[in-house]
Amino acid sequence: MSTQALHDSKHPRPAGPRLRVPRVLAAVLTLATALATTLAPAPQRAEAQEKRVLTVAVAQSVDSLNPFLATRLVSTSIHRLMYEYLTDYDPGDAHAVPGLATAWKPSPDKLTWTYTIRSNAKWSDGQQVTAEDAAWTFQKMMTDEGAATANGSFVGNFSKVTAPSPTKLVIELKKPQATMTALDVPIVPKHIWEKVKDISKFTNDKTFPIVGDGPFVLTGYKADSYVRLEPDKTFWRGAPKFDELVFKYYKDGDAAVAALQKGEVSFVSGLTPAQTTALRGQSDIKVNEAPGRRFYALATNPGAQARNGQKFGDGDPSLLDERVRHALFMAVDRGTLLDKVFQGHAVEGEGYIPPRFSTYFWKPSAAQELSYDPAKAAQLLDEAGYRTNSDGKRTGKNGKPLTYRVLCHATDPNDKAVGQYLKEWWGKLGIGMTLDCLDNVTDPWLAGKYDLAIDGWSVNPDPDFVLSIHTCAALPATPKDTGATDNFICDKKYDELYAQQLAEYAPVKRADLVKQMESRLYDLGYMNVMAYPNAMEAYRTDQIQSITTMPEKSGNIYGQDGYWSWWSAVPADHGNPPDNSPTGTVIWIVAGVVLLGGTGLLLTTRRRASADDRE
């Protein structure tokens, strides 16, 4: 029995005189009810039964629903909804807040971390979530190459993980690790995943609903089409307010915007400047623009290799020369890209981490900067032995012209626009270029079959992950395996700095080490950040009443460091039907009849309602 019911039973209201309704009036009321039901629009009659669905248009297809393998933003965003992490990032200032763990404490030497696992968390199949689930997840990543594919960098320094009790998790380290309150690893249910024979081949998309402990439960999936989730009513932080959350894949951005305008989807992200301008001021649509957490870069193939030393792929060998890489970057006019492509909705690229994360933001010195300088670029190419022939083409000692293949995303119109500028600028240097925009860039990328690629990653408040993907440890074990590497960078000095920052707990010292890593990455010339695009997105206010941004002040909605946006989203209140609706008309007609035939009754009912409201 509810608290309210107990209260009502203890304090019954005094019974008043029984209200007698004339037979004619009762008949009129019955007729009015029938007419109101008949004349009401179908959507209003079914409103109580209809699901409140929040549909999110996405331009990226899911690479895997297996959280041990997935790296795409859409996939990791979905996994955050399905599985809890030990800690979450506060949506206000991104400091660590309880997730699956309610508390954590390091030993004095910081080599042992003890986490208290919450006792009020359940898996969606009803089983209790325990420390053993977390221990199994980390142990699997420590002992299985496949399970370490996406997030192996977080456990590379772990020596032992145990669960002494259902609410106690103990992680022992080889050396101190600064990311122990920022382990971005989805914890999976041991009783489900221990049955998986080969993690590297498991897709996690055949049996629904998929068991998880996050705010949503994944209930349906069709590749390159949609992902469907429903609220977990038992989620410890409280159930989401929408009845269903759908991520719907749109290959074409204009089609996604058109769907938003028609009300077929609730939310669209990754808008172009033109789309953003067109949507501003439209009825029932709100545009949200915020500093982005992504960088937009040009990456070179430094010679794909595996950890066992084997080379593979077919990257152009000229790119092994740092002078050539620097020349290519010095021929890029970032100012033009900001004006013509991003149309002012981006910040000029400098270091590897966007300025939104001010603690780690770095910019090159004036002497170090690879600024736009076509003459200097031409000089570097001459010095590297790639001079122009009689046709104005750059050739090497073998007489073969320099021609590069640039891999890009067919779903991103910015990639195509930037590619055309690169083709023009490099053409003036005598370098040929082909733009290879594909729906699936993953396969050629992992195979090392590209020369350059338009690249981009979302950066977390703790930058460890995006730093780790350029370490030698992130390379695939063999050419046949899949590693966590971005573009096969392996540099000893960079690795040394990475190890130092990982072990440094002092915030200022660690930030300085991270900036040294960014400087090293910049100087190597394997990665050149061109811009930090703003997050540009829009949603329908007649479907979404409110939603949390991250940061809460001027932040983004899609691709957050957590589940705050979709978990917090409040469905729009459509209110009562207007007075000129069929239902309203019937009600007023009946009201007139009642006033004519029973004025005394109406007044009595009003008085009694007022008296009852006060009790």
Do 371 and 335 form a contact (C-beta atoms < 8 A)?
Answer: no
The pLDDT, as a whole number, for residue 605 is 31
- The amino acid at residue 288 is N
Q: What is the pLDDT of residue 439?
A: 87
Q: How far out from the chain centre does Cα 547 lie?
A: 15
Amino acid at 599: T
- What is the average per-residue pLDDT within 77-81? 98
pLDDT one-digit tens code per residue, 535-552? 999 999 999 999 999 999
Give residue 607's pLDDT.
Answer: 28
Mean pLDDT of 37-66: 72
Q: Is the pLDDT of residue 8 over 90?
A: no
- So what's the pLDDT on residue 597? 36
Residue 50 has pLDDT above 70, yes or no: yes
| Whether the bond into 67 is cis, omega within 30 of 0 | no
- The C-alpha atoms of residue 311 and residue 1 are separated, in whole angstroms, by 69
Distance CA 204, CA 285 (A): 35
What pTM, to 2 d.p., does this model score? 0.82
Q: Judge whether residue 45 has pLDDT over 70.
A: no
Judged by average pLDDT, the poorest of 4-8, 171-175, 513-517, 555-559 is 4-8
Q: Which residue has the higher pLDDT, 35 or 107?
A: 107
Mean pLDDT, residues 330-339:
98
Give yes or no for a cis peptide into 209 (omega within 30° of 0). yes
Give the integer Cα–Cα distance in Å for 331 and 317: 20
Structure tokens at 221: 């999936």
pLDDT for res 49: 55
Asked whether residue 581 carries a pLDDT value surpassing 80, the answer given is no
Whole-angstrom distance, CA of residue 611 vs CA of residue 614: 5
Average pLDDT (162-176) is 98
- How many Å separate Cα 317 from the centre of its chain? 35
Give the Å distances, CA to CA, from 286 to 118, 278, 559, 587.
38, 11, 18, 35
Beta strands in 439-543 (DSSP E): 452-458, 527-533, 535-540
Sign of dihedral through CA atoms 523, 474, 249, 67?
Answer: negative
- Please report, rounded to a whole number, the percentage of residues in the chain having pLDDT higher than 70: 85
The rounded mean pLDDT for the chain is 87
Reference 342, options 299, 390, 291; nearest CA is 291
pLDDT at 25: 38
DSSP H or E run through 403: strand 403-409
* 126-151 average pLDDT score: 97
Beta-strand pair 394-395/403-409: unpaired
Q: What's the pLDDT at 473?
A: 96
| Residue 171 vs residues 106, 164, 353, 534: alpha-carbon distances, Å | 9, 11, 29, 38
Calpha distance 115→113 (Å, rounded): 7
What pLDDT is stored for residue 292 in this prediction? 94
357 in the Ramachandran plot: left (φ > 0), alpha (ψ -120 to 50) or beta? beta
DSSP one-letter code for 148: T
Q: What is the mean pLDDT of residues 106-130?
A: 98
Bridge-based pairing of strands 244-249 and 226-231 is: antiparallel
Number of other residues whose CB lies within 10 A of the CB of residue 260: 26
Contact present, 501 and 467 (Cβ < 8 Å): yes
With a cut of 70, say whether residue 18 has pLDDT above it: no
* Strand intervals (E) in 482-584: 527-533, 535-540, 544-546, 570-571
Separation of alpha carbons 225 and 408, rounded Å: 21
What is the spatial distance between Cα 248 and Cα 60, in angstroms, rounded to a whole number?
9
Q: What is the pLDDT of residue 30?
A: 45
Q: Can you tell me the mean pLDDT for 319-328?
A: 97
Question: What confidence score (pLDDT) does residue 302 get?
Answer: 93
Question: What is the separation of C-alpha 491 from the centre of its chain, rounded to a whole number of angstroms?
Answer: 29
- Is the pLDDT confidence value at 573 over 80? no
Band of pLDDT at residue 440, cut at 50, 70 and 90: confident
Specify the pLDDT at position 396. 87
State residue 330's pLDDT score: 98
Tokens in use for 607?
């008085």
User: How far is C-alpha 459 from the geometric centre of its chain's CA atoms?
Assistant: 10
Average pLDDT over residues 201-217: 97
Q: Supply φ then ψ for residue 287, to 5 degrees.
A: -95, 135
Question: Taking the CB of residue 212, how many other CB atoms lie within 10 A of it?
Answer: 27
